[in-house]
Amino acid sequence: MKKKAIIISVVIVAVLAAILIPLLCIPRPVTGKIVVIPLTGSITTEESSLFSGSVITPKLVRDYLTRAEGDPAVKAIVLRIESPGGEIAPCQEILWEIERIKETKSVPIVISMGGTAASGGYYISTKADKIVALPTTMTGSIGVISAVTNIEELLEKLGIQIEIFKGGKYKDMYWGFRELTPEEQEIMQELVDEYYEQFVDVVAEGRGLSKEEVRNLATGQIYTGTEAKELGLVDELGDLNTATDLAMELAGLETAMVEYYQPPKLTIWSLLGLADAIKVRLSGLSAQDIILLEILNHNYRQPLFLYQS
């Protein structure tokens, strides 16, 4: 009788095991999606080309975020940033796009910093829910840079004379064909200072720091990811996987599918930049000639949120 009871017990355990083990092995259903958006290059309004390399534009970011916004499965967004910054207006537009998606989609935004996410690259990160940096990430560089190249003596050596006709006292101050007057230098500095204060305000608001604390950090200095975490500029140290795990946690998900958005392909219009460059080379111009052309074409330097290593 005792032996029979043991056999029955063993059979019951075996049956239960046969039922429960497969159930435990069934993967938990995926309840949402996390998208990883790559943002690589300088921040500008111009589209990327084979000649200019990868860039980050407001249109690019808007297209990415609109795609995520239209996908009901998306529960969190990770922005993978690899950028030294760039032009100020596009930085502001991109920041507004990030704030907009947070309001309309109501999903957490996590920044994953690559090797460099400095100046404008940091500016566009400030309103995210969390920022994750590598210990070796170069970030910070909170500040503004602007330069007006004075090529007056160069033009004299080349025997080039340029006559300026202007309407407005300061209209030619950015052209670089003469030295700036003290009054013009003051105007330029006031413009830079205004953008600097804007940068300070954005960091203070986004990171929950006082303006005075930010000003002490906003010296243009580069910080490593480790230093940035100690200073309150980033939240965690880790890689892209750390950022996606954090995004999953913030979204309240136990499991999630991770979708990696791909950069857009170059269009025929992008190829025109390369075609123009080839034409210049085939024209027989020397390296010095090309440099001079670049100076003349891009002499006006607007203030930038840019880190230049």
Whether the CB-CB separation of 225 and 137 falls below 8 Å is answered with: yes
Whether the CB-CB separation of 117 and 137 falls below 8 Å is answered with: yes
Q: What's the rounded Cα separation, in Å, for the pair 262 and 113? A: 17
Task: Find the Cα–Cα–Cα–Cα dihedral 164, 170, 175, 180, rounded to 10°.
Answer: 110
Give the Å distances, CA to CA, from 20 to 6, 66, 69: 21, 44, 40
String of DSSP letters for 214-276: HHHH-SS-EEEHHHHHHHTS-SEE--HHHHHHHHHHHTT-SS-EEEEPPPPPP-HHHHHHHHH
User: Active-site residue 125, yes or no?
Assistant: no
- Catalytic one among 48, 49, 83, 119? 119
User: Strand locations in the chain, DSSP E?
Assistant: 33-40, 42-43, 55-56, 74-83, 85-87, 109-118, 130-133, 138-140, 222-224, 236-237, 257-260, 304-306
User: Active-site residue 265, yes or no?
Assistant: no
Describe the chain by its helix, strand, coil percentages, rounded to 5. Answer: 45, 20, 35
**How many beta carbons lie within 10 A of that of residue 27, not counting itself?**
6
- For the annotated catalytic residues, the residue numbers are 119, 171
